[in-house]
Chain A
Amino acid sequence: MSGSFLAVAVLGDAAQAAHTGSHLESLVNAVIPKATAAPELAWAGWILLLPVLSAVLCTAFAALRVKNKLPAIVTVVSLGAAFALVLKLYLMRGPEAAPVVVHLWDWMNFSWGGGPWKSFQADVSLYIDSLTLLWMLFVTGLGTLIALYASEYMESDRGAGYCRFFFGVSIFLLAMSALVMADNLVLLYFGWEGVGLASYLLIGYDYHRPAAVEAAKKAFIMNRIGDLGLAVGIWLIWVNYGSVEFATLFQVFTNATSDAGGWDRSLIPFCLMLGAFGKSAQLPLFTWLPDAMEGPTPVSALIHAATMVTAGVYLLARMEPLFVLHPHAMTTVAWVGGLTALLAATIGMAQYDIKRVFAYSTISQLGYMFMGLGVGTAFGAAYHVLTHAFFKALLFLTAGAIMHGFAGQLDLRRLSGLRRVPGFGIVCWTMLIGCLWLSAFPYTAGFFSKDIILVQAMSQPKFQLLGWIGLATAGLTAYYTFRVWFRVCAGPVSFVSGELAHQTDHAQHATTADLHGAPHAHTGTASHSSHANESHAGGFHPHAPRLAINFVLLLLGLGAILSGIPGIQSLRGQHNWVQEMVYASTAVRASGELHTTTPVAFGLDAHGIVSVFGIGAALGGILIAWWLHRLNRRMADRLRSMLLSNSLTRWLPTSMENKWYVDEVYHALFRLPMWIASHLLNFFDRHIVDGLMVNGLGRVPVLIGRLFQPLYNGLLQGYATTMAGGLVLVLAWVAWKWLGAGGAA
């Protein structure tokens, strides 16, 4: 305990020191500088073009039936080159340069007079400021690394599937770069939908499995609901502010003091929020992300953990000048984030699929990011995005390596003691890094970034409850994270190889396993580590990761460790890179850091509370996980069956394992009524609109003809009768009108 008190003391002092005499103070109230045109930076367009190039080449390789690793090489090289360009851009401009706009080519662009409201300008142009660069650095960097990892991971699919996979990755990088670098909302929308498409194509990569197809569809449609919000937001912005270009909009927002001026103007942040919540899997649109784990694991790591899902955070950070104009917008964001974090953590505690646990932890951590934005620390949110990108990508890739090695096995009840299985050392120890970082173990990067957000929440009375929720969630996070690690990596060696039917990224490995003996029965029950391989009943050999996978895991582990540097700097009161980047961007105005010295509770101020309880929650969660899932695994099962046997508590494990029945509720509330309505409308269209009205109208002449038909035989006469009948009727009508008119006169 003395250690944690020491930490409190250090943290408390240092964080206060961070805000003394820092030049950052002057930036807090800065007006966003006006972006200038920078045609000399046109080469930055290659950041978008390089992924296009590799996508085109992958298509060509597919057409040419290339069976080697060429698609992977091309993709890795072009993404690496894109990363190099981003790096060059960053080094040229430094962290605090004024924003620039680089016009590439005209896109949706026309005018009927020029100026606001008299033109519609949405070009393919780049808006480059420090926020853009911060995001681009880790998007392209991680993209390259994960493509490298996938080059080995996907190797059993070489051929058309391999080309398709790397085509999807390239498309994703193109869309994500467009989203982050867009200089207007419509191009951002292009990237927004584009990452949705890439996600759709990659989740449905194993398209012969109906579950994958279903998950892909669900992801796209849920995202589309959010996209609708974004689209409405864009229209409202044009109606209210006359432009969709960031450079113009930020000048307007800077000069505005509130967004008063009609209900539609105050609706804008909430529309954008809907888009962000869809893309970043927050309440109420989070249900697609766990299902997205049907995709190959590198995709889960890249798209559904590190980069794409942070697009919502990016959008809100980018549009922060608009959000701060509305008194309740940021509060809403904070609460949605906090509640999502808690809800997802409770679900994550009760899942058995490793990737699903990590998926729910992603939702939960994204909740923290939104909470950070909402309580007013864009720095905390962006820093958490950065640290999370590293450690979550790392966790997913280790899960992928396990899946790769054990023929698709991901059930944490069926894997144990992997750190003693030869070849899995690096996987297990890098996974430990990821787990420590995710559970916010003291002095890890995850600890720093979470700390900043929670301190910010705690120091404002209206967000204190949210701060406590965040602390409780931190405890849950530590528990479910280490539940995975203690189950899978620690303990006695024992594993069951995966089945073809179960989540197989790698059908081929499972098939080779099948060749050795009866399927589904390769149980390794070695008592001692070094003999694990020889003593398998069925002769199943775990497929240990090779160079590319281990290299990427080590590099990501290193990245995760290094991502703590800004946190340490911040602790020591030095300049830190992330903070500078955020302060020099459009998110500057919401980064007003608050630090109370007044006691919040138990005689401690916000820092003290967050430090004591944060460290306590992390260590407590890890300890409980250690006890239940390492020392005494039977105890965990007994606890579960005890809860299940009691009718009063049965609902708790059942509903947590069933994800609080959110999918079922959505089905009953939306999908089912719509499905019924669609069938009714279809019936209505076929039988009422077409059947009764149209065909009925068509029958009228025939019916009239039928009246007279008995008088005649044959077709011709029938027609003649119809005509005659019609004529008679018309004449009768005319006569009646005439007589009636005459009679009235």
Chain B
Amino acid sequence: MNPLTLIVLPLLGAIATAIGPSSWARWTAFLFSLAVLAGSIVCAVQFPEWHTGRYWPDANEGSTLKAFGISMQLGGDSVNMLLLLLTTFMVPLTLAGSFSGITERHREYYTWFMLLEASLMLAFLSRDLILFYVGYEFTLVPMFFLISIWGGTQRRPAAIKFFLFTFLGSIFTLAAGIYVAARSAEASGVWDFGLASLTRFGCEQLTDREQFWVFAGLVAGFAVKTPVFPVHSWLPLAHDQAPTGGSVILAAVLLKLGTYGVYRIALPMAPAGAVELASFFGVLGILAIVVTAMICWVQTDVKKLIAYSSISHMGFVIMGLFAFNPIGMQGSIMYMISHGLSTGALFLCIGMIYERFHTKEMDAMSGLARHMPVWGTFMIIFTLASLGLPGLNGFPGEFLCLMGTFVAEHDQPAGYPGVMGPWFAVVAAGGLILGAMYLLIMLGKIVWGPLKVPGASADPHEHAHGDQGHGGLSRDLNVREIAILLPIAIACFFTGLYPRLLLDVTEPSAREALVSFPEHVNAYNAARGKVNPSGAKQSVTLMPSPTGSLPRLMIEQPLQVTP
């Protein structure tokens, strides 16, 4: 199947939604998104390079359309496919989750949503820098309208801040990309924005100083999108004000554009710069994890809490990416996928509450497990996934990201030396405790505790016994809402219990991305006086000792056996 189909299908969906009657809009969009999901599954089945780390279709096949060095190269490797599947999986569920929440201007809403999906497909499938940039930037437009039309009371400032902030960041990304392309054109005489050739040129031909600035420029945009700690302030506001569907897709997929950009473009194109800035980003990752986790602790608005927790979680991804070893790299990819599932699902859960009670204030509600047991069950599952409970999806990613950071030392025996090391990981692992604190406090406030239904009369039993809930919805989740959350919950369990599937397919891609790093890291460390003693840690012999040599007893005084 031609990957182009996956971009054309949502575009067609957008057109069909736009020209069809308003009452059909939701179903048109939903059916088209299902078609895209089916298409992506077919693509995934056909995809031949799951275990090789190569791209498909091959870079040369798709480059028939070419103008000004920009070529219509589409395709990807296993990581692209995973992110693609995440997107096409989440979009239909998000659309179905919007059915009851969107009460006006249906046609526009679903049209913008399909355009968003198309641009996401373009971003994840492009093998050309400019094409990627087009998809990457165009996601802003539908998102801007989704927030500013269907958002909360402060939707305008939120939308404008979201748009301007991320746009400003990505200008740097574009500039850095164009710089590399210009240098490449200077050298070869031909303009070519193909990612493969740019990456090769960037890591092989640019000087360390150039790579530093190229990396800084590229990451400036990606960092805003991710978001990395000090440039995150658009996110809580955007999440808070966006409609449920917008929040879900923002958390589940849009944030991944930033980390995907770092993984696919910034790291391979300017490895020397990445190495030089690794400890800087390590510190930012720690700040994101720890500081935002503490900010989460004092939030009163549950949606803001989840939004801040997103920033905290993306800190783990950043740590893993800058560990420069397969453990951290694969952990990051695992974490991107699992964060998309669990945080997206948490936003859906919060949306279901908001549709019923029109409040997101944690103080206004309590003990909803009694009122809505099914919703409570899902909420608990996704919260536990989010705090990294083993057996659910959050754990493999979180554990591997931190472990990758931990082992990223100059004398690491795994053959992948790093810059960060144990202290970064230990401080960041404080996020494990803080994460448990704020998430369990959230659960304790809204799911557990004495029953308090927002907006209910003084006698809670009146509502507890009535089957009809608020906002025209049933008291507990209806079949549609269960059907939305159940696939995500299954995916959460599956990813947590059998992460092998994802780890297997990301391993070649991660190794490919890391191929030039050990050399750069060693050079960087050597310049700072940290010599890599080959096999420094391997002094423990793995061979069995000759028989007869007795192991030493801990107890120091001589062993006296009384006859």
Q: Could you list which residues of chain A lie within 8 angstroms of chain B, going by C-beta atoms?
A: 16, 19-20, 25, 29, 31, 34, 62, 105-113, 116-118, 120, 160, 186, 189-190, 193-194, 197, 200, 204, 207-210, 213-214, 216-217, 220-221, 224-225, 227-228, 231-232, 234-236, 238-242, 248, 251-252, 254-258, 261-262, 264, 323-324, 327, 330, 376, 460-461, 589-590, 592, 594-597, 674-675, 677-679, 681-682, 685, 689-690, 694, 698
Besides A31-B551, A239-B406, A592-B559, 17 other A-B contacts (C-beta < 8 A): A29-B551, A110-B503, A112-B507, A193-B390, A207-B447, A240-B540, A252-B542, A255-B544, A257-B551, A323-B554, A376-B554, A376-B555, A589-B554, A592-B555, A596-B560, A678-B294, A682-B295
The minimal Cβ–Cβ distance linking B335 to chain A, given in whole angstroms, is: 13
| Inter-chain contact A679/B537, CB cutoff 8 Å | no
Complex-state Cα separation, A237 to B399, whole angstroms:
14
Q: Given B390, B500, B562, which contacts A19 in the complex, CB threshold below 8 Å?
A: B562
- Please, could you name 19 A-B residue pairs with CB atoms under 8 Å apart, sorted by A? A107-B498, A108-B400, A108-B503, A109-B500, A109-B503, A110-B507, A193-B389, A207-B447, A207-B448, A213-B444, A213-B449, A221-B437, A231-B432, A232-B426, A240-B540, A242-B537, A251-B542, A256-B541, A262-B537
In the complex, which residue of chain B has the Cβ closest to the Cβ of A21? B563
- Judge if B454 is at the interface, Cβ distance under 8 Å: no
Interface set of B (CB-CB < 8 Å, partner A) = 161, 164-165, 230, 233-234, 237, 291-292, 294-295, 297-299, 326-327, 330, 367, 369-370, 373, 384, 389-391, 395-396, 399-400, 402-403, 406-407, 409, 412-415, 422, 425-426, 429-430, 432-433, 436-437, 440-441, 444, 447-451, 497-500, 503-504, 507, 511, 537-545, 550-555, 557, 559-563
In the complex, residue of chain B having the shortest beta-carbon distance to the beta carbon of A160: B373
Closest Cβ–Cβ distance, residue B359 to chain A (whole Å): 20
Closest to B299 in A: A682
Contact A221-B407, Cβ < 8 Å, known A112-B507, A117-B413, A194-B391: no
Instruction: Provide the bound-state CA to CA distance between A359 and B433, in Å.
Output: 25
Q: Are A330 and B440 in contact (CB under 8 A)?
A: no
Cα(A690)–Cα(B412), bound, Å: 39
Who on chain B is nearest to A271 by CB? B426
Q: How far is the CB of A273 from chain B (nearest CB, A)?
A: 15
Closest A residue to B447 by beta carbon equals A207
Q: Please, which residues of chain A bring their CB within 8 A of the CB of B413?
A: 116-117, 239, 242
Give the CA-CA distance A110 to B504 in the complex, in Å.
Answer: 6
Contact present for A107 and B540 (CB under 8 Å): no
Residues B540 and A207 in contact, CB atoms below 8 Å apart = no
Task: Pick the most buried of A110, A113, A208, A261: most chain B CB atoms within 10 A of its CB.
Answer: A110
In the complex, which residue of chain A has the Cβ closest to the Cβ of B548?
Answer: A31
Chain A hits for B448, CB < 8 A? 204, 207, 213, 216
Contact residue among B327, B373, B552, B554 (Cβ-Cβ distance under 8 Å from A330): B554
Whether B433 lies near A228 (C-beta < 8 A) is yes
A residues in contact with B539, CB < 8 Å:
261
A207 touches which of B295, B437, B449, B563 (Cβ 8 Å): B449
A328's closest neighbor in chain B, by CB? B554
Residues of B within 8 A of A160 (CB): 373
**Most chain A CB within a 10 A radius of its CB, from B504, B553, B554, B560:** B554
Q: Are B403 and A224 in contact (CB under 8 A)?
A: no
Cα-based distance from A731 to B408 in the complex (angstroms): 49
A207 and B545 contacting across the interface, CB-CB below 8 Å: no
B424 CB → nearest A CB, Å: 12
Bound form: Cα–Cα A690–B406 in Å: 32
A339 to B326, CA, bound (A): 44
Chain B residue with Cβ nearest A320: B554
A19 and B504 form a contact (CB under 8 A): no
Which of A29, A231, A251, A255 is B399 in contact with, Cβ under 8 Å? A231
> CA A228 – CA B503 in complex, angstroms?
24
Q: Tell me the nearest residue of chain B to A197, going by C-beta.
A: B389
Least Cβ–Cβ distance between A268 and chain B, in angstroms? 12
Q: How far is the CA of A240 from the CA of B406 in the complex (A)?
A: 12
Contact at A324–B396, with CB atoms within 8 Å?
A: no
Contact A255 B545 (CB under 8 A): yes
Given A235-B403, A252-B540, A257-B551: A190 and B390 interface contact (C-beta under 8 Å): yes
Could you tell me the distance between the alpha carbons of A232 and B402 in the complex, rounded to whole angstroms? Answer: 9
Inter-chain contact A120/B441, CB cutoff 8 Å: no
A255 touching B541 by the CB < 8 A rule?
yes
Bound Cα distance A579, B362 (Å)? 55
Chain A residues near B551: list those with CB within 8 A.
29, 31, 254, 257, 324, 589
A236 CA to B537 CA in the complex, in Å? 11
Return B387 CB to nearest CB of chain A, in Å: 9
Q: Are A207 and B562 in contact (CB under 8 A)?
A: no
A257:B560 contact, CB within 8 angstroms? no
The 7 closest A-B pairs by CB, nearest first: A690-B233, A190-B390, A324-B554, A207-B448, A678-B294, A235-B406, A106-B500
Chain A neighbourhood of B553, CB < 8 A = 29, 324, 589-590, 592
Smallest CB-CB separation from B157: which chain A residue?
A695
Q: A110-B326, A207-B448, A228-B432 are in contact. Are A685 and B540 (CB under 8 A)?
A: no
**In the complex, what residues of A have CB within 8 A of residue B544's CB?**
34, 251, 254-255
The answer to whether B295 and A685 touch across the interface, beta carbons within 8 angstroms, is: yes
A217/B444 in contact, CB under 8 A: yes
B534 vs chain A, min Cβ distance (A) = 12
A595 touches B543 (CB 8 A): no
Cross-chain contact B561 with A19 (CB below 8 angstroms): yes
When A107-B499, A224-B432, A594-B560 are in contact, do A238 and B407 touch as well, CB less than 8 Å? yes
Expressed in whole angstroms, the Cα–Cα distance for A255 and B406 within the complex equals 26
CA distance A213 to B545 in the complex (A): 53
Complexed CA–CA distance, A193 and B551 (Å): 33
Question: Of all chain B residues, which has the CB nearest A674?
Answer: B294
B415 touches A118 (CB 8 A): yes
* Max count, chain B CB within 10 A of own CB: residue among A262, A323, A327, A678: A678
Chain B residue numbers with a CB within 8 Å of A227 are: 432
Residues of A within 8 A of B507 (CB): 110-112
Contacts of A210 in B (CB 8 A): 449-450
Are A595 and B561 in contact (CB-based, < 8 A)? yes
Which B residues touch A62, using CB under 8 A?
A: 373
Cα A674 to Cα B545 with chains together (Å): 51
Alpha-carbon gap, A208 to B448, bound state (A): 7
Query: Which residue of B has the minimal Cβ distance to A254?
Result: B551
Q: What's the nearest-Cβ distance from chain B to residue A311, in Å?
A: 14
Residues in A neighbouring B541, C-beta threshold 8 A: 252, 255-256
Q: With A and B bound together, what is the CA distance between A221 and B409 in angstroms?
A: 30
Q: Which residue of A is nearest B441, CB measured?
A: A217
Alpha-carbon distance between A740 and B19 when the two chains are bound, in angstroms: 59
- In the complex, the answer to whether A678 meets B367 with C-beta atoms within 8 Å is no
Minimum CB–CB distance from A110 to chain B (whole Å) comes to 4
- Could you say which of B422, B447, B552 contacts A257, with CB atoms under 8 Å apart? B552
